[in-house]
Chains A and B, each alone.
Chain A
Amino acid sequence: MSLVIKGASLLGQQTRDLYVDDAGVLVDEAPSGAETIDADGLVALPGLVDLHTHLREPGREDAETILTGSQAAALGGYTAVLAMANTSPVTDTAEAATRVWELGREAGLVHVQPVGAVTRGLAGEELAELGLMHRSRAAVNVFSDDGKCVHDARVMRRALEYVKAFGGVVSQHSQDPALAGPAACCHEGELSGRLGLPGWPGIAEEVIVARDVMLARHTGSRVHVAHVSTAGSVEVLRWAKARGIEVTAEVTPHHLLLTTDLLTGYDPTYKVNPPLRPQEDVDALREALTDGTIDAVATDHAPHARHDKEHAFVDAAFGMLGIETALGVVRTALPDLSWSDVARVMSTTPARIAGLAEQGRPLEPGSPAHVVLVDPDTAVTVDRDASASLSRNNPWHGRSLTSRVVHTVYGGRVTVRDGALA
C-alpha cells in the first residue's frame, strides 16, 4: 500500500513530504489513494540497523522469539537486525542460517539477518562452514562467536583470511578468557574488590582488540569489534584507524550511559557482558562515538527469562534488553549528537558494516522505504511491562529517556503507528 508521510523533518534539517509507492520504494510524486501519516514535528531517519541482537530462537523461545524480537525491534525504530549465532542449536550451518532468515521473513517486521558462527558450536576450534552460510539464501556476511571470544589467535587469523574470499567480516567478542577468568562478572576495580565479585578487567578486552587489529593488518581483512567497553580499547582503535587498518567497532547504548556503580545492590539486571565500566570509560566511549573512532551503536539486546536472572549475581545470566530503548538511550547519553550523526551511527554505518545494501539508505527517491519517525521533544518513562519482548530484564524500567519512536515503516509497510505495533 502506498504512503504519504507529511511534513517530516529529514535528519532534523529540511521539512519535506515523503512518498512511498506500492512496491515500498520512495518516489518523487505523491501516489494516488495513499494512506497519510502526519509527521508534523517529527524527525525522519532511515530505519535503524542493529548489528548485534540476540533473538533466542531456536532454543530459548521462552525468552524471545524471532517474532517478538522483531516486534521489539520495530518499536525501537529498527528495520533490520543481525541475529547473533549463539542460539541452540548454534547458527553454524547454511540450514540453520536459512531457517532464521525464513522465520524473520515470516514475521515480516524487520529484516532479520542471521550472523553465522565463526567456529563450529562456538567451540573456538574448527571453522564453521562460513562459505556455505554465505552462499545460502540468508547470504550471511557477518560471522561471530559472540558470547565467547575467538581466543585462539591461529583460528582467528584463519577466519579473517577465509572470509576475504567473499568480503565477509568477523565480529569479535573481545574477552581474553585467561585474563578475565571463568567467573568474571563485574568490572575489575575498587568496587569489585569491595563487593567480592570476580573481576572482568578492561585489559582482558584490550589485549584481544590489540591482537585482532594486528591480525587484521596482517591478513588485510576486516575485523569488527563488538561492544567496545573501555577507554584502552578506544585508544587501540584510534591507533589502528590512523594507520588505515580495516577495523570497525560498535558500542552499546548501556555502555554509553550506565556505570559499574549500579552493582552495589547485586541486582543481576545490571549484569552484562562486557560489564558496565566506570565513568572514565563511559566518557571515552561517548567521545569515540562522536568523533567516529567507534563506528556504530549496537544494542546487544539480550532477553532472559526471569528465572535465569533470579540467581546469585555470579550465577545469573549475562545481558539486558535494549532494542526498544536504544534511540532514547543514545539521545539521553549524547544530547548534542546531531540527527545526521544519529542516522550515521545507528543506520547508515551499521548497514554498511553488515553489507546490507537495502538498509541505511538516504531518504530519497529510489531507496526502499525503511523509515523511522521520531518525536525529538517527548521524554518517555520506560515501563518494562509495556515491552513487546518476552523478557523483562530491562535496566531502563522507570527511567525517563529523551525522544520517542512514533512510527516505523519497513519496506513501505507501517510496522509501528503512534508508538504501538500496527
Chain B
Amino acid sequence: MKHLLSIDDLSTDEILQLFETAADMHDVQSREVKKLPALRGRTVVNMFFEDSTRTRSSFEIAGKWLSADVINVSAKGSSTSKGESLRDTVLTVCAMGVDGLVIRHPASGAAVQVSQWVDAAVVNAGDGMHEHPTQALLDAYTLQRHLGSLEGRHVAIIGDLTHSRVFRSNVQCLTRLGARVTVVAPPTLMPSGIGAWSAAAGFETSYDIDAVLPEADAVMMLRVQRERMSGAFFPSAREYTVGYGLTRNRLSLLKPDVPICHPGPMNRGLEIAADAADAAQSVVLEQVSGGLAIRMAVLYHLLAGDTWGGIA
C-alpha cells in the first residue's frame, strides 16, 4: 500500500490487519504517556482544501502520538483564488520534504489526481462526493467491536447517498468484510445508475426505512448535506424526517442493542432525533476514538517503513 485513496486499494486481509493495529493503538490511547516513536523524523502534512475540524484534528493527533512532525495547511480556496493549479499547489508543499500528505478536497477524485503528481504517501481524508476511506474503516472497526465479525451481519445505510463519500467508502468496506448492506434513501438522493452498481457490487437498495430497520444488525445514518444541494431533492425538512429520519418512534422498530452510527456533524431533528443520537446504543463517540486509532494505524502502515509489521 503506497497510498490510501479508496477502500478499493485494500485487500480484505489488509483491512483486518489495519483493525488489529488499530486495536493496539486504541490501547495506547489509555496509557498515561500516549506517544509511540514509530514515525519519529517523518513529516506529515494535513492539507485541507475544505474545513473539517473533526477529521483534521483526528489526523493531527494520530500523527503526533506516533511522533511525526505534523503540519496543517489550510488550503481552502487557495488554488483557484490565486490562479494556481492544484498540481502547483501540492508540488510546492511537497517540495519541502513531506513523507505523508493527508488531503481533504471538495472535488471528487482530487486525492487520486494528487497521488499521481507527488512522491509522498497520500491519504484521502475525503474527496468531494467520492470517498472517505478512513471514515469507512473506523465505522467498520467500531461495528466489528460491537458485533464481532461483520460476516453475514445486516447493515442499513440511510440518508443522502448521492452526496455522501461516507456511503461510497462504506458500501465497499462493509461488503468486503462480508456484511449484507441495504441502502435507504428517497429516489432523488440515490446516485444515478445505482441499480446496475448495486447489482454488480452486491448490496441492496430500498425506499422504505420502516421495512429495513427491523432487519438491521446495525444502522448507519448519513448527514443530509444541505450545503451540496442546489436542486429540489425533497420537499421539506419535515417531510424528510417523517420519511427517512431515525425518529424516536423508529427506535422501537430496532432489535435490541443495534448500534447506531453517524459520521457527524449531526443534523439533530432532521436525519436523527436527539433520542436516537443520545440513545444507549448510539456509538457516535466511540466512532471518534476509533477514528483516532484507525488513523494511527493507517499512518503507521504507510510511513513506518516496516510495512505491515507489529507495533514495537
Tell whether, in the assembled complex, residue B107 and residue A312 are in contact, meaning their CB atoms are under 8 Å apart: yes
A313 to B88 alpha-carbon distance, docked (Å) = 15
Tell whether, in the assembled complex, residue B165 and residue A196 are in contact, meaning their CB atoms are under 8 Å apart: yes
A366 on interface, CB distance cutoff 8 Å: no
A307 to B79 alpha-carbon distance, docked (Å) = 11
Tell whether, in the assembled complex, residue A193 and residue B194 are in contact, meaning their CB atoms are under 8 Å apart: yes
Name which of B66-74, B124-132, B234-242, B266-274 contacts chain A.
B124-132
| Chain A hits for B112, CB < 8 A | 265-266
| Chain A hits for B105, CB < 8 A | 312
A199 on interface, CB distance cutoff 8 Å: yes
B106, B129, B168 pick with most chain A CB within 10 angstroms = B129
Contact status of A315 and B129, CB under 8 A, knowing A190-B196, A190-B197, A197-B108: no
A191 to B129 alpha-carbon distance, docked (Å) = 13
Contact status of A315 and B196, CB under 8 A, knowing A196-B165, A266-B112, A307-B85: no
B84, B109, B168, B193 pick with most chain A CB within 10 angstroms = B109
Tell whether, in the assembled complex, residue A195 and residue B108 are in contact, meaning their CB atoms are under 8 Å apart: yes
Q: Which residue of B lies closest to A268 (CB)?
A: B113
Name which of A181-189, A212-220, A240-248, A250-258 contacts chain B.
A181-189
Tell whether, in the assembled complex, residue A196 and residue B128 are in contact, meaning their CB atoms are under 8 Å apart: yes
Query: How far, in Å, is A59 (CB) from chain B's closest CB?
Result: 15
**Cross-chain contact of A312 among B88, B109, B231 (Cβ < 8 A):** B109
A310 to B196 alpha-carbon distance, docked (Å) = 32
Tell whether, in the assembled complex, residue B168 and residue A315 are in contact, meaning their CB atoms are under 8 Å apart: no
Which range contains the number of A residues in contact with the other chain? 20 to 34
**Cross-chain contact of B192 among A189, A266, A314 (Cβ < 8 A):** A189
Tell whether, in the assembled complex, residue A189 and residue B193 are in contact, meaning their CB atoms are under 8 Å apart: yes
A188, A198, A312 pick with most chain B CB within 10 angstroms = A312
A387 on interface, CB distance cutoff 8 Å: no
Tell whether, in the assembled complex, residue A307 and residue B88 are in contact, meaning their CB atoms are under 8 Å apart: yes
A158 on interface, CB distance cutoff 8 Å: no
| Chain B hits for A189, CB < 8 A | 192-193
A310 to B131 alpha-carbon distance, docked (Å) = 21
| Chain A hits for B106, CB < 8 A | 312
| Chain B hits for A259, CB < 8 A | none
Tell whether, in the assembled complex, residue A196 and residue B79 are in contact, meaning their CB atoms are under 8 Å apart: no
A279 to B284 alpha-carbon distance, docked (Å) = 44
**Cross-chain contact of A190 among B80, B128, B193 (Cβ < 8 A):** B193
**Cross-chain contact of A266 among B79, B113, B165, B197 (Cβ < 8 A):** B113
A16 on interface, CB distance cutoff 8 Å: no
Q: Which residue of A lies closest to B130 (CB)?
A: A196
Tell whether, in the assembled complex, residue A195 and residue B109 are in contact, meaning their CB atoms are under 8 Å apart: yes
In A36-52, the 8 Å CB interface with B consists of none
In B194-213, the 8 Å CB interface with A consists of 194, 196-197
B: residues with CB less than 8 A from A are 79-80, 84-88, 105-110, 112-113, 127-131, 162, 165, 168, 191-194, 196-197, 230-231
A–B complex contacts, Cβ < 8 Å, 24 sampled: A181-B230, A189-B193, A191-B193, A192-B191, A193-B192, A194-B193, A195-B108, A196-B109, A196-B127, A196-B165, A197-B108, A197-B109, A197-B129, A197-B130, A199-B192, A266-B108, A307-B87, A310-B85, A311-B79, A311-B85, A312-B106, A312-B113, A313-B109, A313-B110
For the complex of A and B, the 7 pairs showing the least CB-CB separation, nearest first, are A190-B193, A266-B109, A193-B191, A196-B129, A312-B107, A196-B130, A310-B87
Q: A194-B197, A196-B128, A313-B110 are in contact. List 18 more A-B contacts (CB 8 A).
A: A190-B193, A192-B191, A192-B193, A195-B108, A195-B109, A196-B108, A197-B109, A198-B129, A311-B79, A312-B108, A312-B109, A312-B110, A312-B128, A313-B109, A313-B113, A314-B108, A315-B80, A315-B107
